[in-house]
Amino acid sequence: MKKNGKLLVEQVLSEGDLLAQQQVDFYDSYIVKANDVLYGLLAELMRYSDQVLGSDYKLEILSKMRSTLSTKHHIKVQKNTPDLTIIVKYVVRTNRKNAHVYARVLDMAYRQDVMADELEDFIRQNGGIDRIRESNVNLEGVQKRKSEDEGRAKLVKALLNIKAETPMAEFRIPGEWTSQVHDSHGVGSFLYPICAKVDGIYKVVGIVPMDYEFEEQILKRVIVDIGSKGSYSEIEKQQFAKAKEMISPAYQLKIQEERDRVDEQRRAKKLTLQPLPMAA
Protein backbone atom coordinates (compact mmCIF):
# COMPACT_ATOMS: atom_id res chain seq x y z
CA MET A 1 0.00 0.00 0.00
CA LYS A 2 1.31 3.46 -0.91
CA LYS A 3 2.07 6.04 1.75
CA ASN A 4 -0.87 8.23 0.72
CA GLY A 5 -3.14 5.22 0.96
CA LYS A 6 -1.96 4.40 4.49
CA LEU A 7 -2.57 8.01 5.56
CA LEU A 8 -6.08 7.89 4.11
CA VAL A 9 -6.84 4.66 5.98
CA GLU A 10 -5.54 6.12 9.26
CA GLN A 11 -7.60 9.28 8.71
CA VAL A 12 -10.78 7.28 8.15
CA LEU A 13 -10.13 5.18 11.27
CA SER A 14 -9.42 8.32 13.32
CA GLU A 15 -12.76 9.78 12.23
CA GLY A 16 -14.44 6.56 13.35
CA ASP A 17 -12.67 6.71 16.71
CA LEU A 18 -13.83 10.30 17.15
CA LEU A 19 -17.44 9.35 16.39
CA ALA A 20 -17.17 6.45 18.83
CA GLN A 21 -16.02 8.80 21.59
CA GLN A 22 -18.83 11.22 20.76
CA GLN A 23 -21.26 8.31 21.06
CA VAL A 24 -19.87 7.44 24.50
CA ASP A 25 -20.04 11.08 25.58
CA PHE A 26 -23.62 11.35 24.30
CA TYR A 27 -24.66 8.18 26.16
CA ASP A 28 -23.03 9.34 29.39
CA SER A 29 -24.26 12.93 29.12
CA TYR A 30 -27.81 12.36 27.91
CA ILE A 31 -29.01 8.74 28.03
CA VAL A 32 -27.58 7.82 31.44
CA LYS A 33 -28.52 11.17 32.96
CA ALA A 34 -31.98 10.99 31.40
CA ASN A 35 -32.47 7.50 32.85
CA ASP A 36 -31.29 8.72 36.25
CA VAL A 37 -33.84 11.54 36.12
CA LEU A 38 -36.58 9.13 34.98
CA TYR A 39 -35.81 6.62 37.73
CA GLY A 40 -36.00 9.46 40.25
CA LEU A 41 -39.39 10.51 38.89
CA LEU A 42 -40.64 6.92 39.17
CA ALA A 43 -39.46 6.82 42.78
CA GLU A 44 -41.49 9.98 43.42
CA LEU A 45 -44.46 8.38 41.66
CA MET A 46 -44.12 5.35 43.94
CA ARG A 47 -44.11 7.61 47.02
CA TYR A 48 -47.23 9.30 45.67
CA SER A 49 -48.83 5.88 45.12
CA ASP A 50 -47.96 4.89 48.69
CA GLN A 51 -49.68 8.04 49.89
CA VAL A 52 -52.86 7.40 47.91
CA LEU A 53 -53.07 3.66 48.59
CA GLY A 54 -52.51 4.19 52.31
CA SER A 55 -54.98 7.05 52.67
CA ASP A 56 -58.19 6.73 54.66
CA TYR A 57 -59.84 8.49 51.70
CA LYS A 58 -58.40 6.15 49.05
CA LEU A 59 -61.77 5.34 47.49
CA GLU A 60 -62.74 9.00 47.24
CA ILE A 61 -59.36 9.93 45.73
CA LEU A 62 -59.46 7.13 43.15
CA SER A 63 -63.05 8.00 42.23
CA LYS A 64 -62.06 11.61 41.63
CA MET A 65 -59.06 10.48 39.58
CA ARG A 66 -61.31 8.33 37.40
CA SER A 67 -63.67 11.21 36.84
CA THR A 68 -60.89 13.68 36.01
CA LEU A 69 -59.19 11.27 33.60
CA SER A 70 -62.47 10.69 31.78
CA THR A 71 -63.91 14.22 31.63
CA LYS A 72 -60.79 16.36 31.39
CA HIS A 73 -58.25 14.16 29.63
CA HIS A 74 -60.62 11.82 27.72
CA ILE A 75 -58.86 8.74 29.09
CA LYS A 76 -61.14 5.76 29.69
CA VAL A 77 -60.63 3.71 32.85
CA GLN A 78 -62.29 0.29 33.07
CA LYS A 79 -64.14 -0.83 36.19
CA ASN A 80 -61.56 -3.57 36.79
CA THR A 81 -58.52 -1.31 36.29
CA PRO A 82 -56.10 -1.81 39.23
CA ASP A 83 -55.75 1.07 41.69
CA LEU A 84 -52.04 1.46 40.92
CA THR A 85 -52.73 1.81 37.20
CA ILE A 86 -55.30 4.55 37.87
CA ILE A 87 -52.74 6.49 39.92
CA VAL A 88 -50.06 6.13 37.23
CA LYS A 89 -52.49 7.19 34.49
CA TYR A 90 -53.50 10.22 36.53
CA VAL A 91 -49.87 11.36 36.68
CA VAL A 92 -48.71 10.32 33.19
CA ARG A 93 -52.07 11.08 31.56
CA THR A 94 -52.09 11.26 27.76
CA ASN A 95 -48.98 9.13 27.17
CA ARG A 96 -50.70 5.74 27.27
CA LYS A 97 -47.60 3.70 26.39
CA ASN A 98 -45.51 5.23 29.18
CA ALA A 99 -48.37 4.82 31.66
CA HIS A 100 -48.62 1.13 30.77
CA VAL A 101 -44.87 0.55 31.13
CA TYR A 102 -44.47 2.54 34.36
CA ALA A 103 -47.43 0.76 35.95
CA ARG A 104 -45.82 -2.61 35.18
CA VAL A 105 -42.49 -1.52 36.69
CA LEU A 106 -44.14 -0.26 39.88
CA ASP A 107 -46.34 -3.36 40.11
CA MET A 108 -43.30 -5.63 39.95
CA ALA A 109 -41.52 -3.50 42.56
CA TYR A 110 -44.51 -3.71 44.92
CA ARG A 111 -44.73 -7.48 44.49
CA GLN A 112 -41.07 -7.79 45.50
CA ASP A 113 -41.53 -5.50 48.53
CA VAL A 114 -39.29 -2.77 47.10
CA MET A 115 -39.56 0.57 48.90
CA ALA A 116 -39.63 3.92 47.09
CA ASP A 117 -36.11 4.76 48.31
CA GLU A 118 -34.89 1.47 46.81
CA LEU A 119 -36.66 1.77 43.47
CA GLU A 120 -33.87 3.48 41.48
CA ASP A 121 -31.32 0.79 42.41
CA PHE A 122 -33.94 -1.91 41.83
CA ILE A 123 -34.50 -0.69 38.26
CA ARG A 124 -30.77 -0.53 37.50
CA GLN A 125 -30.07 -3.95 39.00
CA ASN A 126 -32.79 -5.47 36.83
CA GLY A 127 -31.48 -4.03 33.57
CA GLY A 128 -33.63 -0.93 33.24
CA ILE A 129 -37.30 -0.23 32.63
CA ASP A 130 -37.65 -2.12 29.35
CA ARG A 131 -36.01 -5.26 30.75
CA ILE A 132 -38.30 -5.21 33.80
CA ARG A 133 -41.34 -4.74 31.57
CA GLU A 134 -40.31 -7.67 29.36
CA SER A 135 -39.66 -9.97 32.32
CA ASN A 136 -43.00 -8.96 33.82
CA VAL A 137 -44.80 -9.70 30.56
CA ASN A 138 -43.03 -13.08 30.27
CA LEU A 139 -43.94 -13.94 33.87
CA GLU A 140 -47.58 -13.04 33.26
CA GLY A 141 -47.57 -15.14 30.11
CA VAL A 142 -46.19 -18.15 31.97
CA GLN A 143 -48.70 -17.72 34.79
CA LYS A 144 -51.56 -17.36 32.30
CA ARG A 145 -50.57 -20.51 30.40
CA LYS A 146 -50.17 -22.42 33.67
CA SER A 147 -53.62 -21.31 34.80
CA GLU A 148 -55.14 -22.30 31.45
CA ASP A 149 -53.43 -25.71 31.55
CA GLU A 150 -54.69 -26.33 35.09
CA GLY A 151 -58.20 -25.32 34.04
CA ARG A 152 -58.17 -27.72 31.08
CA ALA A 153 -56.84 -30.53 33.29
CA LYS A 154 -59.65 -29.98 35.81
CA LEU A 155 -62.20 -30.01 32.99
CA VAL A 156 -60.85 -33.26 31.54
CA LYS A 157 -60.78 -34.93 34.97
CA ALA A 158 -64.40 -33.94 35.53
CA LEU A 159 -65.30 -35.12 32.02
CA LEU A 160 -63.65 -38.52 32.50
CA ASN A 161 -65.43 -39.01 35.83
CA ILE A 162 -68.73 -38.25 34.08
CA LYS A 163 -67.89 -40.70 31.28
CA ALA A 164 -67.35 -43.37 33.97
CA GLU A 165 -71.14 -43.35 34.41
CA THR A 166 -71.47 -44.73 30.85
CA PRO A 167 -68.11 -46.50 30.30
CA MET A 168 -66.80 -48.06 27.10
CA ALA A 169 -66.38 -51.32 29.06
CA GLU A 170 -66.34 -52.45 32.66
CA PHE A 171 -65.00 -55.46 34.54
CA ARG A 172 -63.85 -56.59 37.97
CA ILE A 173 -60.25 -57.36 38.80
CA PRO A 174 -59.84 -60.92 40.20
CA GLY A 175 -59.36 -61.01 43.94
CA GLU A 176 -55.75 -62.21 43.77
CA TRP A 177 -54.83 -59.03 41.84
CA THR A 178 -56.71 -56.57 44.05
CA SER A 179 -53.76 -55.73 46.31
CA GLN A 180 -51.51 -55.09 43.30
CA VAL A 181 -54.04 -52.74 41.74
CA HIS A 182 -54.44 -50.90 45.03
CA ASP A 183 -50.67 -50.50 45.43
CA SER A 184 -50.37 -49.30 41.86
CA HIS A 185 -52.95 -46.59 42.32
CA GLY A 186 -50.25 -44.17 43.48
CA VAL A 187 -51.34 -40.57 43.96
CA GLY A 188 -53.11 -40.00 40.64
CA SER A 189 -56.86 -39.74 40.14
CA PHE A 190 -57.17 -42.68 37.74
CA LEU A 191 -55.90 -46.23 37.20
CA TYR A 192 -54.11 -46.96 33.93
CA PRO A 193 -54.38 -50.60 32.80
CA ILE A 194 -51.97 -51.94 30.17
CA CYS A 195 -53.91 -53.78 27.48
CA ALA A 196 -52.86 -56.16 24.71
CA LYS A 197 -55.20 -56.57 21.74
CA VAL A 198 -55.56 -60.22 20.75
CA ASP A 199 -58.07 -61.27 18.08
CA GLY A 200 -60.07 -58.08 18.65
CA ILE A 201 -60.18 -58.54 22.42
CA TYR A 202 -58.40 -56.18 24.81
CA LYS A 203 -56.62 -58.13 27.52
CA VAL A 204 -55.42 -56.32 30.65
CA VAL A 205 -51.88 -57.47 31.42
CA GLY A 206 -50.79 -54.91 34.02
CA ILE A 207 -51.31 -51.65 35.84
CA VAL A 208 -48.99 -48.65 35.47
CA PRO A 209 -48.06 -47.03 38.81
CA MET A 210 -49.05 -43.37 38.48
CA ASP A 211 -47.93 -40.10 39.98
CA TYR A 212 -49.11 -36.56 39.32
CA GLU A 213 -46.52 -35.82 36.62
CA PHE A 214 -47.31 -38.97 34.64
CA GLU A 215 -51.02 -38.38 34.96
CA GLU A 216 -50.55 -34.79 33.78
CA GLN A 217 -48.91 -36.09 30.59
CA ILE A 218 -51.78 -38.51 29.98
CA LEU A 219 -54.38 -35.79 30.55
CA LYS A 220 -52.58 -33.47 28.12
CA ARG A 221 -52.82 -36.18 25.48
CA VAL A 222 -56.52 -36.62 26.22
CA ILE A 223 -56.99 -32.85 25.84
CA VAL A 224 -55.30 -32.97 22.41
CA ASP A 225 -57.44 -35.93 21.32
CA ILE A 226 -60.63 -34.21 22.42
CA GLY A 227 -59.65 -30.96 20.70
CA SER A 228 -58.82 -32.73 17.43
CA LYS A 229 -62.34 -34.07 17.00
CA GLY A 230 -64.26 -32.36 14.25
CA SER A 231 -67.70 -32.79 15.80
CA TYR A 232 -69.34 -34.00 18.99
CA SER A 233 -72.46 -36.03 19.66
CA GLU A 234 -75.30 -34.63 21.74
CA ILE A 235 -74.30 -36.89 24.63
CA GLU A 236 -70.72 -35.59 24.46
CA LYS A 237 -71.98 -32.00 24.42
CA GLN A 238 -74.09 -32.70 27.50
CA GLN A 239 -71.08 -34.28 29.22
CA PHE A 240 -68.96 -31.22 28.42
CA ALA A 241 -71.62 -28.91 29.84
CA LYS A 242 -71.91 -30.97 33.01
CA ALA A 243 -68.10 -31.07 33.43
CA LYS A 244 -67.87 -27.28 33.07
CA GLU A 245 -70.57 -26.89 35.69
CA MET A 246 -68.76 -29.25 38.07
CA ILE A 247 -65.53 -27.20 38.02
CA SER A 248 -67.28 -23.83 38.27
CA PRO A 249 -66.72 -21.81 41.49
CA ALA A 250 -70.46 -21.75 42.19
CA TYR A 251 -70.70 -25.55 42.00
CA GLN A 252 -67.60 -26.04 44.14
CA LEU A 253 -69.05 -23.66 46.75
CA LYS A 254 -72.30 -25.61 46.71
CA ILE A 255 -70.42 -28.88 47.25
CA GLN A 256 -68.41 -27.40 50.12
CA GLU A 257 -71.58 -26.07 51.77
CA GLU A 258 -73.13 -29.53 51.51
CA ARG A 259 -70.03 -31.09 53.08
CA ASP A 260 -70.12 -28.54 55.89
CA ARG A 261 -73.82 -29.29 56.46
CA VAL A 262 -73.18 -33.04 56.66
CA ASP A 263 -70.26 -32.50 59.04
CA GLU A 264 -72.40 -30.29 61.25
CA GLN A 265 -75.17 -32.90 61.35
CA ARG A 266 -72.62 -35.59 62.25
CA ARG A 267 -71.23 -33.48 65.08
CA ALA A 268 -74.71 -32.68 66.36
CA LYS A 269 -75.67 -36.37 66.30
CA LYS A 270 -72.48 -37.28 68.13
CA LEU A 271 -73.25 -34.73 70.83
CA THR A 272 -76.77 -36.09 71.36
CA LEU A 273 -75.37 -39.61 71.84
CA GLN A 274 -72.96 -38.51 74.54
CA PRO A 275 -74.19 -39.32 78.09
CA LEU A 276 -75.21 -36.38 80.22
CA PRO A 277 -72.87 -35.60 83.12
CA MET A 278 -74.03 -37.02 86.45
CA ALA A 279 -75.11 -34.53 89.08
CA ALA A 280 -72.71 -34.23 92.02
Q: What is the average per-residue pLDDT within 181-198?
A: 75
What pLDDT does 198 receive? 93
Phi/psi of residue 62, nearest 5 degrees: -65, -40
Average pLDDT of the chain to the nearest whole number: 80
| Burial annotation 92-104 (CB, 10 A radius, 16+ → b, else e) | beeeeebbebbbb
Domain ranges for the chain, please list them. 3-126
What pLDDT does 129 receive? 80
| Burial annotation 17-56 (CB, 10 A radius, 16+ → b, else e) | eeeeeeeeeeeeeeeeeeeeebbeebbebbeebeebeeee
What pLDDT does 275 receive? 66
Cα–Cα distances (Å) from 55 to 48, 59, 202, 241, in that order, read: 11, 9, 69, 46
What pLDDT does 31 receive? 54
Q: Using CA atoms, how far apart are residues 180 and 158, in angstroms rounded to an integer? A: 26
pLDDT, tens digit, 9 for 90 and up, residues 221-253: 888 888 787 788 888 888 888 888 888 888 888
pLDDT, tens digit, 9 for 90 and up, residues 78-131: 888 899 999 999 888 877 778 888 888 898 888 888 899 999 888 888 888 877
Phi/psi of residue 222, nearest 5 degrees: -60, -40
Q: Using CA atoms, how far apart are residues 45 and 85, in angstroms rounded to an integer? A: 11
